[in-house]
Amino acid sequence: MTCMDTKTRKYQRIIEQIKDLLMANGDPIAQMATINAVLYHKMPDFFWVGFYLLKKGRLIVGPYQGPLACQELEKNKGVCWAAINRQETIIVPDVNKFPGHIACNENSKSEIVIPLKNTNNEVIGAFDVDSKLYNYFDKTDAKELAKILAMLKIR
Ligand code: SME
Length of the chain measured in residues? 155
Q: Are 80 and 99 in contact (CB under 8 A)?
A: no
Residues 6+ apart with CB under 8 A from 50: 36, 61, 62, 63, 64, 65, 66, 69, 127, 128
pTM: 0.95
Euclidean distance between CA atoms 124 and 127, whole angstroms: 10
Domains and CATH numbers, the chain: 3-150 (3.30.450.40)
Pocket test for ligand 1, best of 95, 104, 113 (most atoms within 8 A of CB): 104
Pocket test for ligand 1, best of 64, 72, 101 (most atoms within 8 A of CB): 101
Query: 3-class SS at 102?
Result: coil
34 CA distance to ligand 1 centroid (A)? 20
Q: Render pLDDT for 73-125 as a digit per residue (tens, 0 to 9).
A: 999 999 999 999 999 999 999 999 999 999 988 999 999 999 999 999 999 99
pLDDT of residue 4: 78
Residues 6+ apart with CB under 8 A from 69: 48, 50, 61, 104, 105
Q: Is the CB of 69 under 6 A from ligand 1?
A: yes
Q: Is the CB of 126 under 6 A from ligand 1?
A: no
Please say whether the dihedral angle defined by the alpha carbons of residues 78, 155, 67 and 136, taken in this order, is positive or negative: negative
Does residue 1 carry a pLDDT above 70? no
Q: Render pLDDT for 32-78 as a digit per residue (tens, 0 to 9).
A: 999 999 999 999 999 999 999 999 999 999 999 999 999 999 999 99
